[in-house]
């Protein structure tokens, strides 16, 4: 493996220098109000909004996790990376209501549509999920790469305690990201995201290019993967224990609609746009960028597997389920250190840093928004704008600390593959939220009591499944009987996601029909059935030929990738 050279450090230093200039420029523009701090004053142009949506999504866990899953499970996770069509849904179906409502957060929108109880439930669940999954996993994934690339770096803290490369890289990056997010708010996040998107795409393209060049081209990759077609195909038989095709068709859209159309982490970027047209076009630009992760994140994992099979690189192994398997979470770092020349190696690591920092900064700002707007301001409604900004900064720092504290746990829970773990957890969180938002927008009869019941029962059922799965799984399961608990724990997470959605829908509709319908003034302007002629006109004026053409291109690319990879090993 090649070690870091002077050119690599120059590339990384140049990257941080550019980030410093941008953050300094943003900080000089005072964050006087909560709108400035949490929504960048609602002044963002569409290309910045779209780049921020994409960069927020693609974190270090994507680069590390997707390359790892590609090397061990082939194209199975590509379904989750072909969710550009979900971002198109955000642009056309959801953004008009969110933007017109002038809300800061998604829980705030639920309060407008239903009641304050819905807002509290979604706020608390979102905060806990962000801290204990997204923040920690993102930092953990970055630490894994630092540990492989710079193993010689360590700091002797005491005679018995040494900070290794994993912790140095993780702590340094999360601290720097926390500082610029605290100082600059969402404006710092979205502008740095724009630069980070370019670095991220360039770095990942280089990995794919050099990997294919060393392997001998795309035909050689297909030939090697064809020998293990059952494990590398896009579609698997329903008997497959991990990715049955029917389960993928059920769960992937549920998770996609939740993540791209209702999650604060993503939607907050669209809410920062300077008008509805920029919000809509920005989401479409983000959707176009989202088309490419299959080629630049999943495919490198396939390339790494093929190179390993030919003996051109060596991927470390680990013990999982009693057998020796490739350690997928170290694939990306091995490819960087083995394939790339000096300078480019630093650029690609800069891309990883870009991904890590953009995801973290987005998470920090979203957590601060949720806590400040949905919890603190509800308790202290008379708080001044300046005070709310201060509270938001403190909340960001608390999230940074809590995320770091939780990292050691991630070293246990990610043993089956970082990205697969993330998708299974999201599969248990997404169904009730997806059901509430879709029914709330498209069915005016749904009321607050139905929404609360659906959220509560859906979350309880999902967390129960996750807990049982954790206690009955692994090498040393804590619970081995009774048999029905073991069966529940082992039940495929994809099918479980579908049953959770059905349970949530039945609960929401049933309780709503058994109780009084919502008053018209409560749902005016907040559903498709109650939109006013003025709103419909405003929505129509916010799109034109450019938006239609962008949509056709995006959906065509998604369909093309699906068709190609459905038959690529034949």
Q: How confident is the model over 307-332, as pLDDT tens digits?
A: 999 989 888 887 766 677 777 777 88
CA angle 88, 99, 250 (to 5 degrees): 35
CATH T-level fold of 6-26+43-229+261-409+533-567: Sodium/glucose cotransporter (1.20.1730)
Helices (H) and strands (E) in the chain, counts: 29, 4
Break the chain into its structural domains and give their ranges.
6-26+43-229+261-409+533-567, 419-531
Query: Residue 149's closest CA among 383, 384, 399, 332?
Result: 332
Computed on alpha carbons and rounded to an integer, the radius of gyration of the chain in Å comes to 23
- Give strand pairing partners of 244: 236
Q: If we measure between CA atoms, which residue out of 510, 392, 530 comes closest to residue 39?
A: 392
pLDDT at 378: 84
DSSP state of 93: I
Q: What is the pLDDT of residue 432?
A: 97
Neighbours of 457 (CB within 10 A): 18
Helix (H, G, I), strand (E, B) or coil at 155: strand
Judge contact between 90 and 261, C-beta under 8 A.
yes
Kind and range of the H or E element at 162?
strand 162-163
- Quick one: pLDDT at residue 377? 85
pLDDT for the residue 408: 66
Contact 139, 408 (CB under 8 A): no
* Phi, psi values for residue 318, rounded to 5°: -145, 165
The answer for 324, left when phi > 0, alpha when psi is -120 to 50, beta otherwise, is beta
Reduced to 3 states, what is the DSSP secondary structure of residue 429? helix
Strand pairing category for 162-163 and 155-156: antiparallel
Alpha helix segments (H runs only) across 58-154: 60-73, 78-81, 84-89, 95-101, 106-113, 116-129, 136-149
Q: What is the pTM of this model?
A: 0.85
Q: Identify the burial level of 384 via C-beta atoms within 10 angstroms of its C-beta, where 0-12 means exposed, 13-18 middle and 19 or more buried.
A: exposed
> What is the torsional sign of CA 478, 479, 485, 490?
positive
Tokens found for residue 412:
């246990």
Q: How crowded is the C-beta side of 105, counted as CA atoms within 13 Å?
A: 25
Mark the ranges of the chain whose per-residue pLDDT is less than 70: 1-3, 26-42, 59-61, 132-133, 141-142, 145, 148-149, 152, 157, 159-161, 180-189, 193, 320-322, 351, 354-355, 358, 406-422, 473-477
Q: Quick one: pLDDT at residue 355?
A: 67
Q: 436 phi and psi, to 5 degrees? A: -65, -45
**What is the total residue count of the chain?**
570
Cα–Cα distance measured from residue 56 to residue 363, given in angstroms and rounded to the nearest whole number:
8
Q: Which residue has the tokens 């400040």?
A: 372
For the chain, the farthest-separated pair of C-alpha atoms sits apart, in whole angstroms, at: 72
pLDDT score at 1: 42
Per-residue tokens: 253: 């859209």
Q: What is the C-alpha to C-alpha distance for residues 123 and 117, in angstroms, rounded to an integer?
A: 10
């Amino acid at each position: 493996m090649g070690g870091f050279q002077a050119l690599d450090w120059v590339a990384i230093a140049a990257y941080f220098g550019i980030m410093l200039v941008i953050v300094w420029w943003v900080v000089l523009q005072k964050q006087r109000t909560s709108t400035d701090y949490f929504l960048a004053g609602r002044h963002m142009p569409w290309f910045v909004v779209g780049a921020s949506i994409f960069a927020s999504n693609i974190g270090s866990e994507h680069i590390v996790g997707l390359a790892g899953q590609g090397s061990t499970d082939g194209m199975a996770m590509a379904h989750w990376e072909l969710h550009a069509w979900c971002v198109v849904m955000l642009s056309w179906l959801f953004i008009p209501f969110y933007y017109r409502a002038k809300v800061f957060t998604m829980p705030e929108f639920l309060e407008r549509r239903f009641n304050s109880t819905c807002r509290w439930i979604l706020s608390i669940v979102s905060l806990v999920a962000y801290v204990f999954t997204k923040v920690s996993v993102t930092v953990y994934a970055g630490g894994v790469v630092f540990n492989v690339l710079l193993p010689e770096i360590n700091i002797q803290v005491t005679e018995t305690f040494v900070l290794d490369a994993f912790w140095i890289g993780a702590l340094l990056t999360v601290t720097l990201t926390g500082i610029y997010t605290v100082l600059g708010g969402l404006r710092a996040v979205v502008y740095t995201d724009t630069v980070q998107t370019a670095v991220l795409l360039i770095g990942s393209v280089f990995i794919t290019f050099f990997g294919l060049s060393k392997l001998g081209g795309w035909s050689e990759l297909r030939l090697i993967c064809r020998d293990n077609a059952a494990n590398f195909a896009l579609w698997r038989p329903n008997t497959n224990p991990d990715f049955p095709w029917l389960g993928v068709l059920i769960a992937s859209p549920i998770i996609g609609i939740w993540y791209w159309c209702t999650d604060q982490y993503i939607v907050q970027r669209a809410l920062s746009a300077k008008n509805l047209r920029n919000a809509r076009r920005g989401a479409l630009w983000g959707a176009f960028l989202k088309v490419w992760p299959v080629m630049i994140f999943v495919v490198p994992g396939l390339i790494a597997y093929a190179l390993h099979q030919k003996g051109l690189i060596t991927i470390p192994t680990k013990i999982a389920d009693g057998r020796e398997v490739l350690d997928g979470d170290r694939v990306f770092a091995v490819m960087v250190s083995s394939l790339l020349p000096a300078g480019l190696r630093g650029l690609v690591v800069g891309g990883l840093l870009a991904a890590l920092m953009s995801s973290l900064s987005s998470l920090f700002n979203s957590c601060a928004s949720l806590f400040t707007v949905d919890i603190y301001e509800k308790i202290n409604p008379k708080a001044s704008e300046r005070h709310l900004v201060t509270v938001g900064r403190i909340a960001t720092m608390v999230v940074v600390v809590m995320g770091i504290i939780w990292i050691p746990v991630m070293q246990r829970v990610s043993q089956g593959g970082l990205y697969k773990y993330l998708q299974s957890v999201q599969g248990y969180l997404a169904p009730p939220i997806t059901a509430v938002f879709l029914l709330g927008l498209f069915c005016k009869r749904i009321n607050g009591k139905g929404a609360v019941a659906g959220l509560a029962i859906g979350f309880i059922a999902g967390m129960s499944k996750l807990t049982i799965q954790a206690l009955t799984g692994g090498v040393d399961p804590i619970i081995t009987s009774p048999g029905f608990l073991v069966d529940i724990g082992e039940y495929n997470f994809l099918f479980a996601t579908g049953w959770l959605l059905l349970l949530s829908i039945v609960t929401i509709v049933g309780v709503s029909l058994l109780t009084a319908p919502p008053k018209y003034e409560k749902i005016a302007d907040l559903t498709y059935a109650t939109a006013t002629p003025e709103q419909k006109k405003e929505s129509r004026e916010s799109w034109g030929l450019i938006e239609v053409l962008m949509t056709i291109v995006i959906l065509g690319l998604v369909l093309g990738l699906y068709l190609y990879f459905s038959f690529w090993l034949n």
